[in-house]
Amino acid sequence: MRCAVRYFTDFIEDEVLSRGEEGLEFCGRHEACRSAAEALVEVANDSLRVKQRAPSASDLIGLHLEAQVRNEDGAIVFRAHLTLVLDWPDSLAGRG
């Protein structure tokens, strides 16, 4: 038996939507949602690497990412949010 349900994953970073247009085929909604959650962690890792190259540490304040999975009808069937808040206490700021 072949699975052929197409789901589309959208990513939102800093309120900017990157819409998945082609989609991927999965055996079901839970498989699609797991895949989106794993991809969200990868996007977070990539975003942190880019932000680490920022000119100053104050530019590295954290991030908020969201992944949402849509079915073929366009209905959102899953959302995952990932928030990372980086705190730079004044007492540690001068330590490098």
Q: Which residues of 2-17 are buried (b: 16+ CB within 10 A; e: fewer)?
A: eeeeebbbbbbbeeee
Number of domains in the chain: 1
Provide the domain limits for residue 24.
5-93
- Indicate yes or no: pTM above 0.95: no
Nearest CA among 22, 23, 10 for reference residue 65: 10
The string of pLDDT tens digits covering residues 20-78 is 999 999 998 999 999 999 999 999 988 888 777 766 655 567 789 999 999 999 999 99
